[in-house]
Structure 1
Amino acid sequence: MLKDSRNGYGLIAIVIHWVSAVLILFLFGLGIYMTGLSYYDDWYHKGPELHVSLGLVVLLIMLVRIVWRIINPTPVDLADKRVQNLAAKLVKLGLYAFIFIVLATGYLITTAEGQPASMFNLIKFPVLTELSSQNVDLAGTLHEYLAWGIVILVVLHAAGALLHHFILRDRTLVRMIKPVKKTDFL
């Protein structure tokens, strides 16, 4: 099924989740790789263009994700303990917050000199404000540290999913891999 239910996630939520995860982790790796490039490396200009384009794709996916979460029911928590459910919600909230802040700072860095952000030269995202060099540095620092924060939260998120699957033996991980069946709606 495409839609979510109280018992599990549908195909759309699952695809959004995994595509976001792969893109975000790729962007992190590309960002780390780019910091070691010299002016004469082939990827000195290609890397940032790809990084910005994929970052804008993630922004659009995250906006769709928020809308999808608003119009679909949230599956019920499977953990018996409230503290586990609270920890999962805090990690998820942290991921959302860090991702949006990293996207915003990336956008601000990209458009700091008055040029729009381009997604694969197909869509131009307009400049909302220009930044001073001091504010670009601040945005860059936030961008880097919160990107590392995303990786840390992803590790916690994955560890929690594996804990649920192998120790608690519930369906938390399975329902983010396998879409809910039509019979689960009844």
Structure 2
Amino acid sequence: PGDISWAMTLEEARADFDFLNQLPGKKILLKGNHDYWWPTDKKLRDFLDPSTTFINKNSITLENLTIGGARLWDNTEINSDSIIDFVPGTKPTIRDLTEQDKKTFDLEISRLEGSLSSMPEGKLRIAMTHYPPIEPTMAGSRFSELFERYRIDHVLFGHIHNAKKLPLYGQKNGVNYHLVAADYLDFCPKHIATIL
């Protein structure tokens, strides 16, 4: 989820979307921190192929599956440095969070809860976030509490690049957490669930 294209404008992203449009099935997008091209909801709806849609303060239901989520943001609650293979001779850059970061983080929590609360009951429930919603140690977070409250079955997230090739994340209190960053998965799809 997220970081769909490195383009800076929607027009520059066209080639990436031409590729996505050729893939089979329904595609559901979520904004990442590098999706600078992401326009208004109306412009994006007008631009996308009918096989592609997106989540932004909403949820999507397809037959027996419903998906909600939000991008999230940098925060001090979750640190993934322990699972990243840093380039030798470098170390993680830790920056102080600004007041704007804190406001964005609070807004993203609100968006996540709004999206999850819009999901209908009785379906396989998946949440997508761009930023990790839980520590690699599986210690709880404000996000994991929301997923438990809204009875989410699976949480898919990305953002982490150069992750160590270890079995990471897993299940906590009935919620399955999946790191699905493309480079972590060697650009191969990961089976999440079978929908009957």
TM-score (normalizing by structure 2): 0.27
Higher strand share: 2
Q: Which has the higher contact order (CA 8 A, sep 6+)?
A: 1
The structure whose Rg is larger is 1
